[in-house]
Chains A and B, each alone.
Chain A
Amino acid sequence: MIKVEALIRPQKLDDVKAALIEMGIRGMTVSEVRGAGKQRGFTQHYRGAEYTVNLIQKIKLEVVVSDADARKVAQAIATTARTGEIGDGKIFMIPVGEVIRIRTGEEGDVALQ
């Protein structure tokens, strides 16, 4: 099992979510995060005092899928979240040791269905 962890632009979440649901992936976790990368931040002035903001709002999307689906899911996210500009984000693929469904105690791929 693989956790696909994608950091994407907030405005792309809707499209990515729709693509995942279309593939039959229903389970996901989404958080609002701030981060820095190649994308430059921006400068704001409050009463003339300058604030440089380089931690930019991103969405972190986490999906755990079977090894067989992992590549396909990552591709789908990459395709829908891409604009071609700096700041599109990254996808991390992380091996997952075990999965347990709390309600039933089921383990492994079954718990992901």
Chain B
Amino acid sequence: MLGSRCSSVAAGVEAAVCAPSQSTAAERVRRAVVAAAPLLLFLAPTAAMAQGNAPKVDTGDTAWLLVSTALVMLMTPGLALFYGGMVRAKNVLNMLMQSFIALAVVTVLWIVCGYSLAFAKGSPILGGLQWLGLRGVGQEPNAFYGATIPHELFMAYQLMFAIITPALISGAIADRMRFGSYLLFVAIWSMVVYVPMAHMVWGEGGFLRDLGALDFAGGTVVHITSGVSALVLAVMLGKRKAGLAEDMRPHSLPLTLIGTGLLWFGWFGFNGGSAIGSNGLAASAFVVTHIAAAVAGAVWVAIEWIAYKRPTALGLATGAVAGLVAITPASGFVGPLAAVAIGAGVAVISFFAIRLKSVLKYDDALDVFGVHGVGGAWGALATGLFASKAINPLGADGLLAGGGFALMGKQLAGVGVAVAVAAVGTLLIGLLVKAVLGLRVTGDEEDAGLDLTQHGESGYAGASTGSESAAATAVHG
């Protein structure tokens, strides 16, 4: 299948791909894979330009990226449900809003300046200003990022990643952050942490890209940054007020499971779409994504079954998401058996990582650091172990594929930069927002619930959602 297609990328790279009779099957496969320029190709601009052929929109590639963009968009509502089910009923709308508002706000920032600063050619750390307001980002493909899809589509696809990343942080600060402060934090964080990280890892001239650190779909850019930022912000906010212990339980795990399903579904676009083409590499990323989620979910449940005598629904959901997180950076570079190892590994690692909060006494409410931060770091390092040029010739061989420690060193550098940018950036933004607006709601507002006090709504009409008297005080007093 790989060699039989004559896509316009392939046409740009090597005319021989379109004349199968001239080359061996293996050679055709190799060329087609090379042609399937993934997001992170670290090679010079695609050969299309080098050969003087203008990039041309390919209908198959464009169709898959349109679908992938929509799939990744759906992950943010999925995340909203995943988180929303885990909080108390009085905070469910606030939890959902923290994800949904990112769809609105980050979109505006992205088209105004975010996309340009992340992806336009600029310095090794930050992109340029030439695409401000999406000037010049139109229906014509951009040869560097995707020679066969409209540049505008690549922009929209990347936008969906920029939206879900800050929304991931909201799980850690559940139940206690002022909505306006959260909004200001997300707006600044998107521009100060996400945009430079995206440029360094994926942008033309970005220094981690040029270094050769591999991150297929966002292990560092999305998961390590959000996970580490979540930890820092949770510590800055302090712990939730403890109520009656049994009332702290998740109020609706069915919502969480629906959210898990939507995340899992959307992740096929997140990773499969990162091939920036409808091709063999997309299929490979799709398959390993599913495998890692399945294995991590199963292993997590098995550990719980042994440790707590019960296989829990929340455990399956958590494990599956952790598996999806971990495979993200590796998804375009590893095969099915590596995906099994990555999924099983993250289940064990994150299972113990989320116990840290009870030992170290910080309140990462919904375990964003344990799942995304630690799981993302494992995924990035696992890429250094399992990556294989047999899967993606534009990648590199990891430690277990005979590539030695070279790739592992680069992966460590990528993890280190992501941790540092996220931690320092979040600390500074957190201090700024605290000085301007304050971070936390009052104790009374927290008792009454954030739905009522931040949004003037209730998630469930008629349900008891907190102390009525406290609510009255908060609203009228």
User: A residues within 8 Å of B by Cβ?
Assistant: 44-49, 51-55
Residues of B contacting A52 with CB < 8 Å? Answer: 245-246
Q: Is the CB of B314 within 8 A of A51?
A: no
Nearest CB to that of B313 among chain A residues? A46
Measured CA separation A45–B305 after assembly (Å):
11
Q: Is the CB of A51 within 8 A of B246?
A: yes
Q: Is B133 an interface residue (CB 8 A)?
A: no
- Work out how many contacts link A and B, with CB atoms closer than 8 A: 31
Take A53-B246, A55-B246 as given contacts and tell me if A48 and B310 are in contact as well, using a CB distance cutoff of 8 Å: no
10 residue pairs A–B, Cβ–Cβ below 8 Å: A45-B304, A45-B312, A47-B314, A47-B315, A48-B354, A49-B358, A51-B248, A52-B245, A55-B244, A55-B246
Residues of B contacting A48 with CB < 8 Å? Answer: 304, 307-308, 351, 354-355
Q: Is B254 an interface residue (CB 8 A)?
A: no
Residues of B contacting A46 with CB < 8 Å? Answer: 249-250, 312, 314
Please give the distance in Å from B251's CB to the nearest CB on chain A: 11
Within 8 A of A (CB), among B141-189: none
Q: Which secondary structure dominates where chain A touches chain B?
A: strand
Residues of B contacting A55 with CB < 8 Å? Answer: 244, 246
Q: Is the CB of A44 within 8 A of B249?
A: yes
Please give the distance in Å from B367's CB to the nearest CB on chain A: 6
Please give the distance in Å from B422's CB to the nearest CB on chain A: 23
A45, A52, A55 pick with most chain B CB within 10 angstroms: A45
Measured CA separation A90–B414 after assembly (Å):
64
Q: Is B318 an interface residue (CB 8 A)?
A: yes
**In the complex, which range does the number of interface residues on chain B fall in?**
10 to 19
Measured CA separation A53–B351 after assembly (Å):
23
Contact of A47 among B244, B246, B367 (CB under 8 A): B367
Nearest CB to that of A44 among chain B residues? B249
Residues of A contacting B304 with CB < 8 Å? Answer: 45, 48
Please give the distance in Å from B55's CB to the nearest CB on chain A: 47
Measured CA separation A97–B54 after assembly (Å):
94
- 0/1 per residue, B299-327, Cβ < 8 Å to A? 00000100110101011001000000000
A45, A46, A52, A55 pick with most chain B CB within 10 angstroms: A46
- 0/1 per residue, B225-255, Cβ < 8 Å to A? 0000000000000000000111011100000
Nearest CB to that of A54 among chain B residues? B246
Measured CA separation A2–B307 after assembly (Å):
51
Please give the distance in Å from A52's CB to the nearest CB on chain B: 7
A48, A49, A51 pick with most chain B CB within 10 angstroms: A48
Nearest CB to that of B244 among chain A residues? A55
Residues of B contacting A53 with CB < 8 Å? Answer: 246
- A sample of 20 more A-B contacts (CB under 8 A), given A46-B314, A51-B246, is A44-B249, A45-B308, A45-B312, A46-B249, A46-B250, A47-B314, A47-B315, A47-B318, A47-B354, A48-B304, A48-B307, A48-B308, A48-B351, A48-B354, A48-B355, A49-B358, A51-B249, A52-B245, A55-B244, A55-B246
Measured CA separation A46–B312 after assembly (Å):
8
Please give the distance in Å from A51's CB to the nearest CB on chain B: 5
Measured CA separation A87–B307 after assembly (Å):
29
Measured CA separation A46–B351 after assembly (Å):
12
Within 8 A of A (CB), among B424-450: none
Please give the distance in Å from B257's CB to the nearest CB on chain A: 13
Measured CA separation A51–B248 after assembly (Å):
8
Measured CA separation A54–B246 after assembly (Å):
8
Please give the distance in Å from A40's CB to the nearest CB on chain B: 14
The list of the 10 closest CB pairs from A to B, nearest first, reads: A45-B308, A53-B246, A51-B249, A51-B246, A46-B314, A51-B245, A47-B354, A48-B355, A47-B318, A47-B314
Residues of A contacting B355 with CB < 8 Å? Answer: 48
Residues of A contacting B244 with CB < 8 Å? Answer: 55
Please give the distance in Å from A33's CB to the nearest CB on chain B: 12
Residues of A contacting B310 with CB < 8 Å? Answer: 45
Measured CA separation A22–B57 after assembly (Å):
79
Residues of B contacting A44 with CB < 8 Å? Answer: 249
